[in-house]
Amino acid sequence: MRKILSMAAITFLQGFRTQTFRIVGMLFVAIMAMTYALRVLSIGHKAMMLRSFGLSVMEISSLLLIIFGCVASFYRERETRLQAIHLTYVSSFDHVLGRLLGNCLLIGAYTILATLACAIVLWHENAWSWVFVVGAYSIFLKLCIICVFCSLFSNLLSSSIFASLMTVFVYFAAEYASYPLAMMRRTPSVVPDSVSKAVYHLLPNFDKIDLKYSAIHGEGVAAFLILEITLYTLLYIALVFIPAWRAFARHEH
Amino acid sequence: MEPLLQIREATRKFGNVCVLDRLTLTVERGEIFGLLGLNGAGKTTLFKCILKLIALNEGSILYGDKPLDLATIHAKIGYLPEFYLPPGELRAGEYLRLLGLAVSGPRPDVDALLQKTGLDANKLIGDYSRGMIQRLGLAIALLKAPEFVILDEPTLGLDPLVRLRLLDWLRELNSQGKTILLSSHDFAQVAKVCQRIAVLHEHQLRYIGPLTDFLDQHKTSSLEEAFLKEIGGHNA
């Protein structure tokens, strides 16, 4: 456990202090400032608009952090012989798990900071609701799943550009996988229903994890649902982690 | 002398290219062993095979009298890679402490190591010079108090003064009982610290034995000249 924590702490501190983290943070602040300035346009829906933009910007900027921060740091570590040093201290399992944990912690820290920034704006505009925290938590869970995919693609592919593109692809595929399924219920499709369903279940079901809608509308969320999506996320991460670890272990450093 | 590391018939191929060709050598406990070879001779590949960062196609590596395994590598072998760049966003002290967490057994004395290397614990690694990074690399290699240290081009890019200090430190470590395996293109420095050497050329071992015998064999006092004669490059 100490070895995993060691790798996680190194990954977290490295990621937290990079320029990428600061740039993504500044981008978040800039968009939030613009949202704040434009709040007057959404007459009667100001609170919902602010909450919606806050969560959406948080999610997109976190995704940028994964693509430009986590993927890039993986390849940088490979080029600078850091992996070679780390692997003389820890096993490949500890290394991959530690890095994944470190990246999830990084996304967690970013989500907390972004939630605090949003809270100040929302409080000021009387738009704050505690369900906003639940919405932010659901975004964190989604991005942890994206982190494990980022780990998988970084270990599988020799090009960081492909790894980034594949990570983005999985994010959008998972985000919108439920729409074709819903459309097929109404209109017949050439793709068999079973295939569509299989693809949907193979991809992370972001439509079920995502609690942004409740957070935006200020609707309460049952504690059981939060527990359920947390367990689903942990299980999904464990399933994707295994091939990511095997790919890393097979790779020669 | 007692053998510490025994490499037997080690072969490694990358596609059709044979980078290590049935290499057999032994490093004795308590010696400083120098591995000499031109760029691309297979030195770094051999080190990576010892550390199990690359798998051997054929052959075996023994540590003491047992096959070398990952647990032994993690506990007993320190490594400084060539062109090593530690994370620039971390401070030297915190990086060493965090890596120290990964050490099995008793917690390493990071402060003593920092004092020995003369590194500023609170300075960001990104602000370090090449020489300081090499010293940090050596500190990392020694963090787990290994009995066997592998150094890949430890003097690369260092100014003469830092190089001299580093070699003094290697001698000191050796006098404390540590076995050191190093590769270097700096023949003068190798001649100063190594008791035995091996010459790797075109992926094969051309010589292994005491440094003095190698010099006598080529009737010269210059290791560089002897090396060039050995590989047939003295007329170049």
State which amino acid sits at residue B235.
N
Where do we find the tokens 């608009």? Answer: A49
Give the Cα separation of A227 and A172 in Å (integer).
Answer: 24
Instruction: Please report the pLDDT score of residue B108 as a whole number.
Output: 84
Q: How confident is the model at residue B121 (pLDDT cuts 50, 70, 90)?
A: confident
Whether B93 and B121 have beta carbons less than 8 Å apart is answered as yes
Query: CB under 8 Å to B205, separation ≥6 — which residues?
Result: B23, B24, B25, B198, B199
Instruction: Please report the pLDDT score of residue A4 as a whole number.
Output: 94
Between residues 165 and 224 of chain B, which touch chain A (CB distance below 8 Å)? none
Q: Do A14 and B82 touch (CB under 8 A)?
A: no
Between residues 55 and 84 of chain B, which touch chain A (CB distance below 8 Å)? 55, 70, 73-74, 77-79, 81-84
Instruction: Please report the pLDDT score of residue B49 as a whole number.
Output: 93
Instruction: Please report the pLDDT score of residue B235 as a whole number.
Output: 55
Give the Cα separation of A199 and A210 in Å (integer).
Answer: 19
pLDDT tens digits, B126-173: 998 888 888 898 889 888 889 999 999 888 777 888 788 888 888 888
Q: Identify the segments of chain A with pLDDT beneath 50.
A: none
Between these two residues, B96 and A252, which has the higher pLDDT value? B96
Which among A3, A18, A90 is the nearest to B89, CB-wise?
Answer: A18
This model of the complex carries an ipTM of 0.85
Query: CB under 8 Å to A225, separation ≥6 — which residues?
Result: A211
pLDDT tens digits, B13-61: 988 888 888 999 999 999 999 999 888 888 899 999 999 999 999 999 9
Q: Of A77, A78, A79, A81, which to mutate for an interface test with B (greatest number of B Cβ within 10 Å)?
A: A81
Q: What are phi and psi of B6, to 5 degrees?
A: -120, 120
State which amino acid sits at residue A222.
A
Between residues 207 and 236 of chain A, which touch chain B (CB distance below 8 Å)? none
Give mean pLDDT, residues B227-236. 73
User: If one looks up domain B3-85+148-231 in CATH, what number appears?
Assistant: 3.40.50.300
Give the Cα separation of B230 and B236 in Å (integer).
Answer: 13
Query: CB under 8 Å to A218, separation ≥6 — which residues?
Result: A47, A48, A51, A129, A131
Query: Does B117 have pLDDT greater than 70?
Result: yes
Query: Does B73 have pLDDT greater than 80?
Result: yes
What residues does B80 pair with on adjacent strands? Answer: B151
Give the Cα separation of B103 and B109 in Å (integer).
Answer: 11
Q: Enumerate the residues of chain B whose CB falls inside 8 A of the CB of residue A17.
A: 89-90
Instruction: Please report the pLDDT score of residue A77 as a whole number.
Output: 86
